[in-house]
Amino acid sequence: MFWCARSLKFGRKLLLAAAATSTAAFCQTQAPSGRPEFEVASIRFHANADNRALVQALQGRLVMTNFSLKQLILFAYDVPRNQVSGVQAWMDSDRFDIQATVEGNESVKQMEGPMLQALLEERFHLKVHRETAERAVYELTVEKGGVKTQLSKGGSCTPYFVDSPPPPPAPGAARPTYCDFPSLRGDGLNWTLDGAGVSMTKLAESLSRMGTDRPVIDKTGLAGGFDLHLKWALDEAAGATGPVTTDEPTGTSIFTALKEQLGLKLESAKGPVEILVIDHVEKPSEN
């Protein structure tokens, strides 16, 4: 493993460790003036047999395990998987681990957004731009029989603010249920979404990211937060994220699941969609 650190306060570069087998990481150079960046960051090829993708973000520290470059781009630039173009095959297949730290008051939102963008642009020579195009979309609407889920009761969930997330629970303590913060869990083609106080806008955003092959736009007209439990099988043509560890999908399609479990439906439509276009990227070399 090769690490490189820079002290922003004193403008020094310090060599911290030497190369290791099957590992790639790259020293970060000075970012454009005024742009936040990590002081210490490493990117390594993921070599663990554990196929779960994990994120740990606390103020001053970001750890991401088993992410493809495509997933990192979607995360850093906050775009659904079906709203990015120019993806090369290795950007889906190769997996990376990131550990990055910074001293100061940078928020989790800054680390997961602009600072992660700067890291990807530096290490992978990534260049992107955004453009708007007319694309096929799905509109999320209510079935004739009405919505089948309930509004969340007051106090059933804990407010969550990205800029100032609550501290992690004490060892052995249960993780709080955060409002409008749905949890997506997947095993190959089979996926589950659970959440409390979830808005229809957030549900549409979550479906755009992992439920469908098109962007989803909320047209339900429903206000407030709902308690949601949704289980479905991802269409293999839409592309599963990560290795498929089950032989067959065990759930229903997202269209049937929304109708039967939540009283909602997806209707095909056309609309303007913002696309993130990858102009240039370079595959990292091994040390």
SS3 label, residue 186: strand
Cα torsion for 159, 192, 148, 209, to the nearest 10°? 70
Residue 260: partners with Cβ closer than 8 Å, 6 or more residues away: 252
Give the residues across from 275 on adjacent strands.
131
Q: What is the pLDDT of residue 143?
A: 96
Cα(70)–Cα(64) distance, integer angstroms = 13
Contact 51, 243 (CB under 8 A): yes
Q: Please report, in tens digits, the pLDDT of each residue of the chain (287 residues total).
A: 333 333 333 232 322 232 333 334 444 434 444 678 999 999 999 987 777 778 888 778 899 999 999 999 999 999 988 899 999 999 999 999 999 999 877 888 889 999 999 999 999 999 999 999 999 999 999 999 999 998 998 888 988 776 666 677 778 888 888 899 898 887 778 889 999 999 999 999 999 887 788 999 999 999 999 999 999 998 754 444 433 334 455 668 999 999 999 999 999 999 999 999 999 999 875 43
Buried b (16+ CB within 10 A) or exposed e, 239-259: ebbbebeeeebebeebbebbb
**For the packed helices 69-77 and 116-123, what is the interaxial angle rounded to 10 degrees?**
140
Phi, psi of 24 (to 5 degrees): -130, 130
Cα–Cα distance, 116 to 93 (Å, whole number): 20
pLDDT at 240: 41
d(CA 25, CA 110) in angstroms, rounded, equals 22
What totals of helices (H) and strands (E) does the chain contain, helices first?
6, 13
Residues 6+ apart with CB under 8 A from 174: none
Tally of residues, the chain: 287
Note the pLDDT of residue 34. Answer: 66
pTM: 0.66
For residue 236, the model assigns a pLDDT of 58
Counting other chains too, the contacts that 11-19 makes at CB distance below 8 Å and 24 or more residues apart are 16/40, 19/287
Q: Which two structure tokens, joined as six digits, stand for 75?
A: 């995360």
Amino acid at 127: K
Residue whose tokens read 């603010």: 161
Quote the pLDDT of residue 65. 92
Distance CA 199, CA 252 (A): 23
The CB density around residue 186, as the number of other CB atoms within 10 Å, is 18
- Strand segments, DSSP code E, in the chain are 4-7, 12-15, 40-45, 54-58, 61-68, 84-85, 95-101, 127-142, 183-187, 190-198, 216-218, 226-233, 264-280
Domain spans, the chain: 4-124, 134-274
